[in-house]
Amino acid sequence: MRSSTKINTRLLTFQYCILQGGYWASFCSIYAFATVLLLAKGFSSSQAGIAVALGNILGVLLQPRFAAIADSSQKITIQKLTALLGAATAASFFLLYFVPNLFLAVFVFFLLTDSFLQVTQPLVNSVSIYYVNRGVSVDFGIARGVGSVSYAAASSALGRLIEKKGADVIIFAALLFLALMILALLSMPVLPQPVKTERSEIQADHTAAPKNNGKRETIFSFFLRYRRFTVALIGVTLLFTFHNMTNSYLIQIVTSLGGNSASMGTALSVAAVCEIPAMLVFSKLLKRFSSSRLLMLSGVFFAAKAAAYLLAVTMPQFYLAQILQMGSFALYIPASVYYVNETMEDADKFKGQAVMTATNTLGGVIGSLIGGILLDYAGVTPLLVTGFAAAVLGAVLLFFACRNTGTKNRQPDV
């Protein structure tokens, strides 16, 4: 399929790289440094943790609703909707700078900022699918690799700037990165809808009746229509329970191995560097393997990483375990985007991206809560054992959900 509009694919890929880079740099500013900012605003550590968790939960609830707009609206394009959410994120974070350091005021504006940030993520991923489905090649892997580089660079730069300028520099950095993201979105071309073939018209007629029946579909009926996909979501939730449990409490894990804050920084750097090659070559991997198989493979790597964490008794061994980031998180991110595109009906693609991202966030919330309880009452080893069990079960569920998956994952109506 070719678009009727002549598109400079190199320029478009560059614009999408700017979009991904701007989003992930702003994500680093707002999310990774959330505790630093909230502590400077007078929050305690537990209050900051609750604010972040509630922002994630609100994002999970809102993601499918905004995705439904992206799927169904004829007037609001995916680029415009994503830019509007980016502007809403910037506005709420900007207002946070001016409100007095009163708990409720800061809490509300940070909650809005965090939730808007979470809602934007699946739409940023869906922008590439928007073009792919219109016959225009956009390399998601390269763009997401730029996102990883931007995240690492923003993290390093902000760490130094906060020491010199104070925590408010986080807000201005995030605003700069969000502006960059919005400009990239506004510069990207809007293309006509792909031409439907006779086969797709018949398929649309066949699926329209059970999907709508004149009523707005609930998220539960969505899950019932995509039963294998729902099993995959449960598996992903478990994988991200392990992933966020270990990331959130990495300093405690490193300390138990004789490391310190510097060791933690090194471990994060190793993981970030290992993400980049996998994302850069993903488009080539996709020519040889289906997205469902790559998603299954990422589950295996998550389980292997959990095992390596559990078995590590020295910091060098832990650094080696971080190399598995290349096949776990780095492979999962692009594979999940293409997997959703292949398994969803056309009318559900944006909603599918939102639900998948919401699942990642949900796993993060569960991991943070369970990890904190385990550390307080049991210690690091039970935390790692629990993370290993979650990762293995998640990998098994992904295997059963994705095996023998064709281009469509939708179960037949019974």
Taking only the tens place, the pLDDT of each residue in 131-144 is 888 888 888 878 88
Rounded Cα distance, 45 and 35, in Å = 7
Helices (H) and strands (E) in the chain, counts: 18, 0
Q: Check whether 386 has a pLDDT greater than 90.
A: yes
Burial 85-97 (b: 16+ CB within 10 A, else e): bbbbbbbbbbebe
For residue 186, is it left (φ>0), alpha (ψ between -120 and 50) or beta? Answer: alpha
What pLDDT shows up at residue 354?
Answer: 76
248's tokens: 């959130």
Mean model confidence pLDDT for the chain? 82
What pLDDT shows up at residue 156?
Answer: 72
Burial class of residue 202 (count of CB atoms within 10 Å of its CB; 0-12, 13-18, 19+) = exposed
What pLDDT shows up at residue 382?
Answer: 94
Reported as a pLDDT band with limits 50, 70 and 90, residue 193 is: low
What pLDDT shows up at residue 78?
Answer: 87
Task: Taking residues 73-94, report their average pLDDT.
Answer: 89
Q: Give pTM, 2 decimals.
A: 0.70
The amino acid present at 224, given as its one-letter code, is L
The residue assigned the tokens 């800061």 is 106
In the chain, % of residues over pLDDT 90: 33
Rounded Cα distance, 36 and 170, in Å = 9
Reported as a pLDDT band with limits 50, 70 and 90, residue 381 is: very high
Task: Taking residues 177-197, report their average pLDDT.
Answer: 82
Q: How far is CA 174 from CA 91, 115, 148, 272, 285, in A?
A: 11, 15, 16, 20, 33
The residue assigned the tokens 């910091």 is 315
Q: Check whether 201 has a pLDDT greater than 50.
A: no
What pLDDT shows up at residue 264?
Answer: 67
Rounded Cα distance, 277 and 255, in Å = 29
Who wins on pLDDT, 179 or 145? 179
In this predicted model, what pLDDT tens digit does every residue of 399-409 receive, in sequence order?
999 886 654 44
Task: Taking residues 189-202, report their average pLDDT.
Answer: 56
Reported as a pLDDT band with limits 50, 70 and 90, residue 369 is: confident
Q: Check whether 73 has a pLDDT greater than 70.
A: no
Same fold, 9-187 and 218-402: yes
Task: Taking residues 106-115, report their average pLDDT.
Answer: 92
Helix intervals (H) in 166-226: 169-187, 198-211, 219-225
The answer to which of 69-78, 273-282, 382-391 has the lowest mean pLDDT is 69-78
Domain locations in the chain?
Answer: 9-187, 218-402
Rounded Cα distance, 360 and 357, in Å = 5
**The domain over range 218-402 is classified in CATH as 1.20.1250.20:** yes
53's tokens: 């968790």
Q: What end-to-end distance do the CA atoms of the chain give, in Å?
A: 33
Q: Check whether 208 has a pLDDT greater than 50.
A: no
What pLDDT shows up at residue 271?
Answer: 83
Task: Taking residues 198-202, report their average pLDDT.
Answer: 40
Fold of the 9-187 domain: Growth Hormone; Chain: A; (1.20.1250)
In this predicted model, what pLDDT tens digit does every residue of 10-56 receive, in sequence order?
899 999 999 999 999 999 888 877 777 887 888 876 677 778 778 88
Reported as a pLDDT band with limits 50, 70 and 90, residue 117 is: very high
Q: Check whether 211 has a pLDDT greater than 70.
A: no
Task: Taking residues 367-389, report their average pLDDT.
Answer: 86
What pLDDT shows up at residue 7?
Answer: 75
The answer to which of 40-44, 77-81, 247-251, 295-299 has the lowest mean pLDDT is 247-251
Q: How far is CA 386 from CA 271, 367, 383, in A?
A: 21, 10, 5
Q: How far is CA 364 from CA 240, 281, 343, in A?
A: 6, 27, 24
Burial class of residue 46 (count of CB atoms within 10 Å of its CB; 0-12, 13-18, 19+) = exposed
Contact by Cβ (8 Å): 352, 340: yes
Reported as a pLDDT band with limits 50, 70 and 90, residue 194 is: low
